[in-house]
Amino acid sequence: MKLSPLQIARYQYQPKLPGMLRNGIAEISVRTGEKTASVADQQKIAALFPNTYGKEEITFEKGANTSPARKHKVGVILSGGQAPGGHNVVCGLYDALKATDGDNVLYGFKNGPIGILKDDYVIFDDELIDQYRNTGGFDIIGSGRTKLETEDQFEVAAEVCRSHGITAIVIIGGDDSNTNAAVLAEYFAAHDTGVQVIGCPKTIDGDLKNEDIECSFGFDTATKTYSELIGNIERDANSAKKYWHFIKVMGRSASHVALECALKTQPNICLIGEEVAARKMSLSQIADYIADSVCARAERGMNFGVAIIPEGIVEFVPEFSVLIAEINEMLAGQKADAFNALASWEEKYAFIEKGLTAESMKVFAILPQGIQQQLFLERDPHGNVQVSLIESEKLFSALVKDKLAQRKQAGTYNGKFSPLHHFFGYEGRCAFPSNFDADYCYSLGYNAFMLIQYGYTGYLSKVSNLAKPAEQWVAGGMPITKMMNIERRNGEDKPVIRKALVELDGNPFKYFAAHRQQWAVETAFTYPGAIQYYGPSEVCDITTETLALEKA
């Protein structure tokens, strides 16, 4: 396999650890903090997790290691969508494991949680690990989205662990994956299997965070990657001066990615789903908001611009959410077969008219036909509309085009509007991790082993004080149940980790809101450029604008 010069150089990069983890395994002690409670529904969560609920937060510090000496066989699972830095979590875990005892073993279960159910694994050694240090992707063992949530699955996982003598499992994933980790930890504890479970916070969407977890890994690299591309497009737009670029970025349940990219690049428009929901904005109001910017810039002779659209924006629009719910109900059960049997779109449209309320039909009617048809494409496993498949960047550019046509007819607009469309998603999920993510992820993995060594289970590996240099980072752990609440899922009440949405009273959004009116009219674009790996620390080790503003 031919290696690029950057890949060769990155293999040699030594990630920075928090100060208290640099002392050597023998000089890391643990300080116990306060007992914890879940963010909501405390009685219900406590009843569901009697063996792992209410445990203390812990912090590692310099001091004598008092953990019992024993051999460790640990399994690691990469779960869910990829995020830059995942390889370094595995590398940090491996290095800590081997630094403690060269006979310790790390099993990598292949292709996500399905690997432990099928007993499909690889045993890591130096040669394998060294091929993946500081590189992007999850290809070291692959990932998957199988959920560990049934007793039958837990029994299989326990038997696989018994057969290999595995004493701990580390699950690297997002909110759903770490919810599964908490449930698995509870099962293992209740059945006295002797197997610990530790989670690591991953997602480029940035919605796995709270007062303890300041940032999920991968968010830094992904947003820097997207921002470089957006900055390039802004420069092109300012050069050609004839296109409006509508750019959709990942983030179905929260708009953290869109907000961070806006803070980095200062586009003319950035929609924030949480604000749309709070203000109960309609599709028409959003289209008018964007059209106002187009018109204001056209009056200055600037028939170009950039708009950032979060992937899940339509789910935040109240009237659209009602429409989706009605469509799901309209096509429930055998009704979907009757709809799909209709030969033409005209027949299907008539079927839709009969099935929707008058209010939802008004919303449906203003959608471009292509978007209308997307709402009736392949359903998810639960029979619901796959909202993430909707090309919202094309939806809003079409709605804006209609608004501008109305304004032109009324004599209030005389510019030119030529939209182009982009979707940045997969481009950022497996990028070479930034120095921040390389350091952070390695620390999370190293720290995960310290939690294992000290006997903790149902904990999330936690590294905080991230706005400071790595030397000042603080390592420790928090019970996963602290992040949980009860939510309705597929008709049942389920314990899940609460997603963190953009806080409209938080510093990042406030800064954005204070400047967006200027950005909407002026060409205030900024060009972040590519991720820098070598050079001054103030260039190479910078974190996100979001984290900097939150910790300001």
Active site (catalytic) residues: 205
Kind plus residue range of the DSSP H or E element containing 200: strand 196-201
The residues, ordered by sequence, that sit 6+ positions from 488 with a Cβ below 8 Å of its Cβ are 494
The rounded distance, in Å, linking the Cα atoms of 216 and 206 is 6
Nearest alpha carbon to residue 87 among 220, 95, 67, 309: 95
The residues, ordered by sequence, that sit 6+ positions from 494 with a Cβ below 8 Å of its Cβ are 486, 487, 488
CA atoms within 13 A on the CB side of 385: 24
Name the 3-class secondary structure at 479: strand
Q: Give just the sign of the alpha carbon dihedral 184, 190, 196, 202.
A: positive
Nearest alpha carbon to residue 215 among 504, 450, 434: 434
Strands 244-249 and 474-479: unpaired
Q: What is the 3-state secondary structure (H, E, C) of 351-408?
A: HHHHHCCHHHHHHHHHCCHHHHHHCCCCCCCCCCCCHHHCCHHHHHHHHHHHHHHHHH
Residue type for 75, please?
G
Q: What is the CA radius of gyration of the chain?
A: 25
Residue type for 232, please?
N
The rounded distance, in Å, linking the Cα atoms of 529 and 228 is 5
Q: Decide if 72 contacts 97 (C-beta within 8 A).
A: yes
Burial of 344 by CB count in 10 Å (0-12 exposed, 13-18 middle, 19+ buried)? exposed
Residue type for 239, please?
S
User: Which 8-state DSSP code applies to residue 470?
Assistant: G
Name the 3-class secondary structure at 240: helix
The rounded distance, in Å, linking the Cα atoms of 79 and 199 is 10
Q: Decide if 544 contacts 260 (C-beta within 8 A).
A: yes
Cα 531 off chain centre by: 19
* Region of 121 on the Ramachandran plot (φ > 0 left; ψ -120 to 50 alpha; else beta): beta
User: Which 8-state DSSP code applies to residue 70?
Assistant: -
**Number of neighbours of residue 27 by Cβ within 10 angstroms:** 14
